[in-house]
Amino acid sequence: MASRKWAGIGGAELMLLLVAAVWGGSYAVAKQATQQLPVLEFIALRFGLTFVVLLPALGPLFGARNAGRRQGLAVGGLLGANLLAIFVCETFGVSLTSASNAAFLISLCVAFTPFVEWWLLRQRPARRMFWAAGLSALGAAMLSATSPAEMSVGWGDGLMVIAAFLRAVMVCLTRRLAGRHTLPALTLTAVQAGVMALGAALVSLVASPAQGAWHLPPATASFWWGMAYLVLLCTVFAFFAQNHAASRTSPSRVSLLMGSEPVFGALIAVYGFGERVGPWGWAGGLLIVASAWWVTLPTRERSTKNPGAPRMDREARAP
pLDDT of res. 5: 39
Per-residue pLDDT tens, the chain, 319 aa: give them.
Answer: 444 433 344 666 677 778 878 888 888 898 889 889 988 999 999 999 999 999 988 887 776 566 667 887 888 889 889 989 998 998 899 888 887 778 778 877 777 777 787 887 777 777 777 787 778 777 777 765 554 544 455 778 889 889 988 988 887 787 777 667 777 778 888 888 999 999 999 988 887 655 556 778 888 998 999 999 999 998 878 777 765 665 565 544 555 556 667 777 777 788 777 777 778 778 877 887 787 677 666 655 444 444 444 444 443 444 4
Outline where the chain has alpha helix (H). Answer: 2-34, 39-53, 59-63, 66-96, 99-105, 108-121, 127-143, 155-177, 185-207, 221-228, 238-246, 251-258, 261-273, 279-296, 300-305
pLDDT of res. 6: 35
Type of residue at 21: A
Name every residue whose Cβ is closer than 8 Å to that of residue 6 and which is 6 or more positions away in sequence: none
pLDDT of res. 243: 58
Cβ-contact 241, 15 below 8 angstroms: yes
pLDDT of res. 301: 46
Angle between helix 155-177 and 108-121 (nearest 10): 40
